[in-house]
Structure 1
């Protein structure tokens, strides 16, 4: 079945030039005859008839345009393959022989001036056609889908649709935009479907998207086989309905849509379930129907998002369609079958005329047909065909132009142009079509034009409209390829105009992160709270984030909050309390010292070296005061003095106690007849002990300060929500040496005092020193675990408390009894009374 260039009775397309050029057009109606069945079972995809009309419209426009090919008229030859592969090769060969006889590769009689071929709708058809056309290097334009594998094998093939990989990326960007991470895949059960699944699924995985199911649509063109497919279709329908994936990506061609509609119709009849999913449809697809699907509802596609080849409205084309009538067409082998199946009528005197069918008047209006049967607005496929015709015409125009470099290059006149000469022009051609859009091919023969994203809105009368809601431009700047107007989208009615969710499970809210389920794909996960110290500010985070050092998580672990700088200050209650106690004990110590100085001639003061007593009291006074250095903001000078001052004054205080105790022991042993220790009795030994012990500690502190001195530092990790301003000890080893030496002095002093506590001496302080050192050791032994278990400013508070407590313990145990006698019992502070009490005691 074919159409030749004399198409309409209203006028010839041969405008009146000196020559004509023929364009071949293959397979647009997509219908099939079955010789073994009654002829009324011809399957005719009426909607694809618009492709024929778009082709004819473009040829007509060019022939009427005096600025394009003014001396040349375009003709055309349209053939249908009936989905039979062998017929494709015959059609391809039929483009080249003489006008009267089919003699392959033999030129005689009048030749067809063929300049190019347009077709076909499917990549497989284009491939079979290209096998023959490529031998003759004839330009071929494919407008259905872009199979990249053909691009390298057939260099004379031009693509009126962007590379399929661009469409894959566009679909992925659309899925990511709506956060649809759990989607279904459906494709036709053919080589093109296999190619789609093989190449698209890895792209999904790379972008964190999983396929919930993969279904292949089986189809048949023999009605007897439909029963065999029902079981398969029902199983597919159930799998789709039970899936949690609310988004389905559909890939295929006309045959896939016809089979899909049968599958959905059968499933809804058998299971009584209304199908409610969001379809994302590839550009190769179109909403088509054949005669037996005429009254089927298209509600299932309401809210679908369809990628389609970019197109623009053409009012002239709609006017052209309104004038189409069966009686106005000449040599059109398609219009009567189209008219009969579209309007459910029959023309008289045709082979399949039936008395039960109404007669076609020829006055039926195309505008009354539902969308699946015919559209009055130009579809993306028709727009591609229209641009294909214009590309060929402009290429020929450039070739014949008197100023054209191509005409000079090839020495062309109107009678010797060869189709292969057009390739150099087509690879570089740029022109504006009749609606003002720029048409341009790149070096790979790919049309530089993106995809429209349309939203399908259906109506109860089985009509629909397409609303453009976005654009996919693969050649835009990175990150700007996809533009989408989310507010303009109408969703399937069951979603109540809320963006559907398509996830394997509920999303993980901020504060939680995803943890993979064993045995499931990575899109199926559990939501678990973030560990301490980490946050997840967004939904569906794969892992939790760690805040910067100077920030900490909020309680919900959804954002980072700046940490507050803290230190033990005088303004807060804890610091103020410790400072008050330090001053109070300092005042008490000063009062004791003043009391001892006032009563310096009394026996109890003179006992055990009066100067050691004064030195011990001054040391204790400094111990209380050095606690104040630990309070306040850490600064360089404070950090240098804090531990060294504490270490020095405590060492002096403990060395005084050691000297006092040793003095008692030496005096007791020297009192024995003939003792050789009498030479050690005196103040020199006590002074030497204090001086020697203090020099050793001073040496350790000096080495510390010169090698690795303490410095002001910040601790961002000890306390989760705070930055601790502290003094870094510089060298932990040297700090340990200071504490260790002080501990050594305490141990020696305690040991000596403990052994000397029962010496029979009137003024023996060993017992008081023993109790004082016992308190001192208890405080500092408890200090170590307490200090290590606290954080931040409380570590400083613990150390201050230990300093105050241990110093107060020494002050109380050693000097409280003496002060009691001096102040409250002065009658006992005489030598005779003390000796008498001693004798009474023993």
Structure 2
């Protein structure tokens, strides 16, 4: 029951353990190929007690080179970025699997993959998720530079027109255009160009709120002023066929109040919209590799809420332009307003489909919106103000009252204008203002009535 160590005849010690077994002594032999077609058992080491001595130079392992040894394990450790899937019933055997392109190894559980949140991607080792840089429509991008250049030219041109109108504020051509509404119209045009700069700013909650308000408000100012003008023209000339009484609400002050009322509807719509859906800058992920910083309203059809009322004003203005197209051009801008509205309708008929078809490309959608707004403003500038600038700057001698205000049919009005037959003005100007037309409309009705009575008397005498 106990170990002993007797000495043999030769003097060597023999050791026995407590079970009566002697120490383990083994020769380790290896069956190997020593030459082509010849194999031998070769002694490659010894095992004595608890010590192992091997001559690795004499050992050959299949499919391993001389400098490497096979691992005597069931499974090798998984590489970085791989998860461990254990074989059922084995704690030392497992399989290694790669996580997908947008996953990392769960830092708390090496047997699971973890999905990186949107706006992030795995690093090369798939150990952490890193944030993608924010991308938004930069003012230095090609799309933005074109739109900003267009808007800058528009701002400069509008400011020049305002300067010219102020310098010639009391001349007939400026008075005839309806100074008050003309300045409102120019202010709206300036806001249209300015909205491009707001749309190109880095999205924040404040910037998004300005965008939601401004893109509809600027158009409401422009087309509200045009609607007020065309409505005034239509009421004055249509009333001449029915009554000789003076029409109400045609003074400059009344026109400004009417225009303000039209514009205030857009303000109410925008305020209600922002109350229901507050402006917000959000991260938008059209694809897994994108992290776009945008205004929430720009990724769906929400901006059309701001455009709905201006589109209605455009339609009404166009109808009025058609109804007043035959009014003598010496008295009003109906022909030029008509050109403005027809061209604007074409622009918007092109813009609306493009807006809805670019939902996946926010940069293109915003740029298209900017260009459409600037084009609409430019059409108004060219069609409504270039004829006046032509007279004021290039032919100041025509910037006087004239006697050929209407055709012979309206000769009664010519007398009320109290001008000589020698003075003449281009057909692009007006007598003085539509106030003169209204005051003179009574004379038209009286003259027409007198002519009718005279004809009846002649027929009776005959």
Post-superposition CA distance 1:555-574 (Å, at most 9, x none): xxxx9985332222334454
Task: Tell me, yes or no, if structure 1 residue 824 matches structure 2 residue 423.
Answer: no
Task: Tell me, yes or no, if structure 1 residue 317 matches structure 2 residue 21.
Answer: no
| CA–CA distance in structure 2, aligned partners of residues 707 and 699 of structure 1 | 12
Residue 806 of structure 1 corresponds to which residue in structure 2?
A: 376
Change (3 A) 1:792 1:722: farther
Confirm or deny: 8 A CA contact 2:32 2:40 kept in the other structure: yes
Post-superposition CA distance 1:314-338 (Å, at most 9, x none): 98534xxxxxxxxxxxxxxxxxxxx
| CA–CA distance in structure 2, aligned partners of residues 775 and 551 of structure 1 | 46
| CA–CA distance in structure 1, aligned partners of residues 270 and 299 of structure 2 | 11
Residue 627 of structure 1 corresponds to which residue in structure 2?
A: 196
| CA–CA distance in structure 2, aligned partners of residues 767 and 720 of structure 1 | 53
Counterpart secondary structure, 1:811: helix
Residue 458 of structure 1 corresponds to which residue in structure 2?
A: 32
> Equivalences for 1:63-212 in 2 at 5 Å?
67-68=18-19
Confirm or deny: 8 A CA contact 1:775 1:810 kept in the other structure: no
Change (3 A) 1:462 1:725: same
Change (3 A) 1:745 1:534: farther
> Equivalences for 1:165-564 in 2 at 5 Å?
316-318=24-26, 376-377=27-28, 458-459=32-33, 460-463=38-41, 490-492=61-63, 548-551=117-120, 563-564=132-133
Residue 355 of structure 2 corresponds to which residue in structure 1?
A: 787
What is the CA-CA distance between 1:589 and the residue it aligns to?
Answer: 0.5
Task: Tell me, yes or no, if structure 1 residue 566 matches structure 2 residue 135.
Answer: yes
What is the CA-CA distance between 1:657 and the residue it aligns to?
Answer: 0.5
> Equivalences for 1:15-94 in 2 at 5 Å?
67-68=18-19
Change (3 A) 1:639 1:834: farther
Change (3 A) 1:673 1:731: same
Return the match for 2:346 from 764, 778, 786.
Answer: 778
Change (3 A) 1:536 1:491: farther
Confirm or deny: 8 A CA contact 2:143 2:364 kept in the other structure: no
Confirm or deny: 8 A CA contact 2:135 2:292 kept in the other structure: yes
Aligned length: 344
Post-superposition CA distance 1:197-249 (Å, at most 9, x none): xxxxxxxxxxxxxxxxxxxxxxxxxxxxxxxxxxxxxxxxxxxxxxxxxxxxx
TM-score by length of 2: 0.62
What is the CA-CA distance between 1:493 and the residue it aligns to?
Answer: 8.7
Return the match for 1:755 from 314, 320, 323.
Answer: 323
Task: Tell me, yes or no, if structure 1 residue 714 matches structure 2 residue 283.
Answer: yes
Confirm or deny: 8 A CA contact 2:234 2:323 kept in the other structure: no
What is the CA-CA distance between 1:577 and the residue it aligns to?
Answer: 4.0
Confirm or deny: 8 A CA contact 2:61 2:69 kept in the other structure: no
Residue 327 of structure 1 corresponds to which residue in structure 2?
A: none
Uncovered stretches (5+) of structure 1, i.e. residues with no partner: 1-60, 75-313, 319-375, 379-455, 468-487, 500-532, 539-543
Residue 583 of structure 1 corresponds to which residue in structure 2?
A: 152
Confirm or deny: 8 A CA contact 1:671 1:678 kept in the other structure: no
Change (3 A) 1:498 1:598: farther
| CA–CA distance in structure 2, aligned partners of residues 493 and 579 of structure 1 | 68
What is the CA-CA distance between 1:805 and the residue it aligns to?
Answer: 1.5
Change (3 A) 1:546 1:675: farther
| CA–CA distance in structure 2, aligned partners of residues 780 and 461 of structure 1 | 92
Confirm or deny: 8 A CA contact 2:31 2:40 kept in the other structure: no
What is the CA-CA distance between 1:665 and the residue it aligns to?
Answer: 0.9
Confirm or deny: 8 A CA contact 2:340 2:379 kept in the other structure: yes
Post-superposition CA distance 1:280-332 (Å, at most 9, x none): xxxxxxxxxxxxxxxxxxxxxxxxxxxxxxxxxx98534xxxxxxxxxxxxxx
Change (3 A) 1:783 1:534: farther
Bigger Cα Rg: 1
Confirm or deny: 8 A CA contact 2:206 2:279 kept in the other structure: no
Counterpart secondary structure, 2:191: helix
TM-score by length of 1: 0.36
Larger relative helix fraction: 2
What is the CA-CA distance between 1:771 and the residue it aligns to?
Answer: 1.7
Change (3 A) 1:734 1:793: closer
| CA–CA distance in structure 2, aligned partners of residues 805 and 489 of structure 1 | 83
Confirm or deny: 8 A CA contact 2:155 2:194 kept in the other structure: yes
Confirm or deny: 8 A CA contact 2:103 2:122 kept in the other structure: no
Confirm or deny: 8 A CA contact 1:634 1:712 kept in the other structure: yes
Change (3 A) 1:493 1:579: closer
Task: Tell me, yes or no, if structure 1 residue 743 matches structure 2 residue 311.
Answer: yes
| CA–CA distance in structure 2, aligned partners of residues 724 and 782 of structure 1 | 26
Residue 179 of structure 2 corresponds to which residue in structure 1?
A: 610
Q: RMSD of the TM alignment (CA)?
A: 4.4
Change (3 A) 1:734 1:690: farther
Change (3 A) 1:553 1:752: farther
> Equivalences for 1:676-695 in 2 at 5 Å?
678-683=247-252, 685-695=254-264
Post-superposition CA distance 1:653-689 (Å, at most 9, x none): 1100111111111121234473567335433553343
Uncovered stretches (5+) of structure 2, i.e. residues with no partner: 1-13, 46-58, 71-99, 106-112, 406-423, 429-462
Task: Tell me, yes or no, if structure 1 residue 652 matches structure 2 residue 360.
Answer: no
Post-superposition CA distance 1:158-191 (Å, at most 9, x none): xxxxxxxxxxxxxxxxxxxxxxxxxxxxxxxxxx
